[in-house]
Chains A and B, each alone.
Chain A
């Protein structure tokens, strides 16, 4: 019997009405680098999250596992907490529908046998590529992480499920320096397969970006069209919609999308899905963190809000089926509804044409602080670290340090001028480059 089932059995034996165990075993390699490898480490971890109920009282206890005796301690602790928890009048039961959706591309077997030397080689050549790109360029910091994880979920309804996943992250930053002027260039990629990591391509792009931003020009504050590069818009989507689409936010009155089902909340150009089974998607998996099968959910169809994202608790509360969105960002956290892969459907315009059709505006390559935007009020705000002025259909002066702001819900309704055709992800958020008709740009 494996650990998850053992824990469920132990909790039931100790008197739990219901019990659910989520066990995660992970092996990670993390390498930090600059011009050279700075550090190399490996992590092996085993952790468990046990949820129990006593009637309508629930509690959770999570622990890293150093030996099997801890299962018994965990069960006892969880039950002790549940005893004092107030009753939750909305509690019905834990997930009773386990199953596997036909998802593909979430496990890369090659990671099992990937040699350390191969990783070191790939990173060293990426660093060398940045240095050889231009004499003014120096790679300053990067990290690379591979993870192989195995998750098991089991509960007292005699159900259990297991999955294995791989994730790879690479992030690199380079600096360019010339005559006292400094600039940086950053690139990142999140993928499920080793072969998909574009080491050289990322290195060249980061180096190119740094050299282009040595000389930037200040621009005055004004309202103007703004084009957001695919990964930037993907980040914005994640920040502004992940919370409001969460059924828990909706039920608790925190979501500005409460009472908006079936209502036009965006222009007809907007189609948004949450796709838990997208091939090789960052959060693709056959079942969610409660064992419920994942699926493809239509969220916004031609501008009309069609669905919120549910786990089993929120679904039972609304008397609907879960959408398979129960997620635990870490094993020790309780499951919460969150997007699997949030995808804005691409249009037909290439980013080049999108820029080509713009008389005057800015093209935003990278931002920081977009996550400080307020999804409740819809106030969107980001600081542009790398952008270009667009004049008569072409990119001209590089600009940095300007702040862009606007109301996200107004943008969705009236502000999306053109949707590009170049879908790309930033973690689990997917978007093409998008042209917005107008944002406030705060310059000097």
Chain B
């Protein structure tokens, strides 16, 4: 589809009664190679491409999409968007003004991951899977290699034209071990916005074998005694908690409808002074998101500074409700979805403590470790969160002691952030080619992280 043809269709929006219109074209190629128990289980390859039109009238915003690229179908889709917009009257203000960008930006990669030969890709996953069989206690192993490239074009009647190309690759592995009748699984992945060079740069065989050893260790260990403990939390787990329990609550659309626990709290002290929280479009290790799906540049947004809430994340819709500028957080899963306020890369700013200093004062507590975390859920209106994490370690008299398995942490985010009493100096930000953040039925790749963090009180349940 030529840009001029899309531009022509877009220009018809005004005649149909639209005060504004934009179109997004996307082409997304992805492959997932799954190896189970030393054999290739599936090699799936997928291309998703299509167009989405968003129109606004005096009354409301409508959206429609199609995977069909012929001109007639595109014009129909524009008309469907108009029909949707005319079906209701919205109370929302028009979009906030934003800079009109005309740019093309491409993640710098060496080797297009989708173009690498299927043999080479299969062998990476197969070899790692074989390496995971470290002993008789291993009962099952799954290795997945995921690769994708994503190309998005945004054009608006305001004259914007932004094209962003990126790639995301990663390997995930899960081992199931059985010991003394107890079964335990540990799964973990590492991903990067990069070409196939990232896959080639790492020793995935040791990665998988280490996870197997951890699964065996976990199967031999106990679940922790449920209770409330001081805890030191791994950057990745703290990043996930931050993203789910705090980041979502800072998303402007959830704030203006009143759903968020952060509603009407700008300027309030919500966390200890050690806490500064940032959302940034392009950071090392994170997801590459230099522009959002409304053509707005995504820079660095400080949400919390030294414990004080500074502001929220916005797309053009939520920004206008708060009479501020968009922070470049209008993101859509794909062309079938409307941009909504989403985080990009959220992280806690590091301070100066070394890891040893974080644990040395703890008489009885827990080190919530990174590998094997399974995910979490949050009730954003109350800030209640719960997360399943992997094998972790008991802290006794300032030192790491035995491993515990099946750990679940739970709490209320605003209470938890107030009990952060020390922040480490070891910043780590990660993204994932496997999991993605879900909101309103849409998934989006994000990045998250921070340094190691100590909290005075964390509710720990044993699964």
Contacts and interface: CB of A to CB of B under 8 A. Distances in A.
A427 interface: no
Given A40-B62, A45-B67, A381-B463, A120 B87 contact: yes
A125 interface: no
A372 B50 contact: no
Interface stretch (B3-11, B195-203, B230-238, B256-264): B256-264
Of the four ranges (under 10, 10 to 19, 20 to 34, 35 or more), the interface on chain B belongs to 35 or more
A315 interface: no
A40 B56 CA distance: 11
B376 to A, nearest CB: 7
B344 interface: no
Interface stretch (A30-38, A264-272, A287-295, A343-351): A30-38
Interface string B366-397: 00000000111111011011111000000000
B183 A377 contact: yes
A371 interface: yes
A395 interface: no
A371 B388 CA distance: 9
Of the four ranges (under 10, 10 to 19, 20 to 34, 35 or more), the interface on chain A belongs to 35 or more
B50 A66 contact: yes
Contacts of A403: 226, 386, 408, 410, 459, 461
A141 interface: yes
B85 interface: yes
A12 B121 CA distance: 26
B282 interface: no
A116 B42 contact: no
Nearest to A41: B63
Contacts, number: 263
B406 interface: yes
B384 A400 contact: yes
Interface string B235-261: 000000000000000000110011101
Interface string B53-77: 0000000111111111110000001
A44 B67 contact: yes
A401 interface: yes
B358 to A, nearest CB: 24
Interface in B115-131: 117-119, 122, 126
A77 B257 contact: no
B338 interface: yes
A184 B378 CA distance: 12
B176 interface: yes
7 contacts: A58-B42, A60-B43, A60-B44, A175-B259, A252-B37, A382-B386, A405-B226
Interface of A: 30, 32, 34-47, 58-67, 77-78, 80-81, 83-86, 88-89, 116-117, 119-120, 124, 138, 140-141, 143, 145, 173, 175, 177, 182-184, 221, 252-254, 256, 332-334, 368-369, 371-374, 376-377, 379-383, 385, 400-401, 403, 405, 440, 442, 444
The list of the 9 closest CB pairs from A to B, nearest first, reads A379-B463, A372-B388, A140-B259, A369-B386, A41-B63, A116-B87, A184-B381, A383-B386, A34-B257
